[in-house]
Structure 1
Amino acid sequence: MHPVLVYTLSRIGLFVVTLGVLYLLGLTNPLILMLGAFLISGLASYVLLSKQRDAMSERISDKLDRPKPQDD
């Protein structure tokens, strides 16, 4: 599967899980709930998704470094 897609879906999944856990813990204010889930999932993804992030950046870097075909 494409590394960018895997990383993006993992980040979204981690955000949704964090949102659900915070809701179950009693946070009901939507603004605080979203902000808390955003911050916690961002920190967790930095630690938990480092392998996927490295694969994604390598894939993007390889694409950018590839020579473009010449139209003559």
Structure 2
Amino acid sequence: MLYTLWRILLFAAALGAGYLLGLRSWLLVLVAAVVAFAVSYLALSRPRDSAARWLAERDARRRAQPRVVRDEDTDFEDSVVDADSGDTDPSTLRQAQDDAGSGRRGDEPAG
């Protein structure tokens, strides 16, 4: 967040300096963007590295969390819907009911 703030301030300062030097219209914005990029690349290496570390840690935390949590109730309900639509064999429905009643998931071995 601090890195972004510094970059915005550099761009605003470059815009102001360019305006005072007589640049106008799209050329002012283009020159200010290039100047702000160059100065931020040279002067803001420490905040940039800190921001990159923060983003990498955030990504690692997101990847460590499970995406979809399934439980026995969801599996049972899915099997009932599949059986009603004729997509599964009735024996599969019976197996799902048995698994849900025993607290076991359908893909876990019995015993």
Whether the TM-score (by the shorter chain) exceeds 0.5 is: yes
Deviations 1:33-57 (A, max 9, x none): 0000001101111011111100000
With structure 2 as the length reference, what TM-score do the two structures score? 0.56
Give the counterpart letter for 1:51 in structure 2. R
What is aligned with 1:59? 54
Deviations 1:10-62 (A, max 9, x none): 1100000011011111112x100000000110111101111110000000111
Matched residue SS, 1:22? helix
What is aligned with 1:68? 65
Give the counterpart letter for 2:46 in structure 1. K
Could you say which structure has the larger radius of gyration?
2
Instruction: Give the gaps of 5 or more residues in structure 1.
Output: none
Question: Which segments of structure 1 move beyond 2 Å, counting only runs of 4 or more?
Answer: 69-72
State, as a whole percentage, how many aligned pairs show the same letter. Answer: 39
For residue 21 of structure 2, the aligned residue among 20, 25, 44 is 25
With structure 1 as the length reference, what TM-score do the two structures score? 0.83
Supply the RMSD in Å over aligned alpha carbons.
1.4
Q: Does 1:44 align with 2:39?
A: yes
Greater relative contact order, per chain length (Cα 8 Å cut-off, separation 6+): 1
- For 1:34 and 1:64, locate their aligned partners in 2 and report how far apart those are by CA, in whole Å: 33
- For 1:69 and 1:55, locate their aligned partners in 2 and report how far apart those are by CA, in whole Å: 27
Instruction: Give the gaps of 5 or more residues in structure 2.
Output: 72-111
- For 1:68 and 1:59, locate their aligned partners in 2 and report how far apart those are by CA, in whole Å: 17
- For 2:59 and 2:29, locate their aligned partners in 1 and report how far apart those are by CA, in whole Å: 34
